[in-house]
Structure 1
Amino acid sequence: MSGVLTTVALLKQTFDKYAGADGDKNQMSKKELATMLKAELPGCSEVDEFLKMLDQDGDGSLSFEEFVTFVATFAVLVGSA
């Protein structure tokens, strides 16, 4: 499998690991986002800011598409630091 396909599969696997605990496996709630950030990015406590910035449709949760936007934005920020 190519590096890009492996990365996409890993993104989906990570999203699926945290989304759905609150009922909807296609959305990551604020609580699920907080759990993911705590586990995957220790020291990151700005859940409200992340959710507000990424929740493009304003439904209070993140779809997989919005999650991918988060990861891409994070990658750009880390890559330019």
Structure 2
Amino acid sequence: MSSQLNDAMESLIKVFYSYSVKEGDKYKLSNAELRTLLQEELSDFLAASKDPAVVEKIMKDLDENEDGEVDFQEFVVLVAALTVACNEFFVDLIKENCKGRK
């Protein structure tokens, strides 16, 4: 039986490659593949942003080697940053709820 963390890592890898194989280099996300991934997998985060150029900004920020594509390592940086942001939000929410009970 695999662990929850192992399953999460496997899911992350599967999601990346399910989008990256659609065009061009199967080991990297093109701008279009990244846009589709974000729209289908992280639509709540995109909806929170009112900036129509948010995907292009994300691509620019992630594409450290400036090759116009996002490899798996660059993609994981995005997932980690979003995970940290979610954690901070929930920690703050828990702290606020605890203060309200005093």
Both proteins in one fold, TM over 0.5:
yes
Is there any run of 5+ residues in structure 1 with no aligned partner, and where?
A: none
Paired residue for 1:4?
A: 5
Deviation of residue 75 (structure 1)? 0.5
Paired residue for 1:65?
A: 73
Question: Aligned Cα RMSD in Å?
Answer: 1.3
Is there any run of 5+ residues in structure 2 with no aligned partner, and where?
A: 47-51, 90-102
2-structure distance, mates of 1:58, 1:7: 28
Give TM-score, length-normalised by structure 1: 0.90
- 36-45 vs 59-68, which deviates more? 36-45
Larger Rg: 2
- Which stretches of structure 1, 4 residues or more, deviate above 4 A after TM superposition? none
Number of residue pairs the alignment of both structures matches: 81
Q: Name the SS for the 1:49 alignment partner.
A: helix
Contact 2:24 2:30 in 1 (8 A): no
Identity among equivalent positions (%) equals 33
In the TM superposition, what are the counterparts of 1:1-80 in structure 2 within 5 Å? 1-43=2-44, 44=46, 46-80=54-88
Give TM-score, length-normalised by structure 2: 0.73
Answer 1 or 2: which has greater helix percent: 2
2-structure distance, mates of 1:57, 1:20: 20
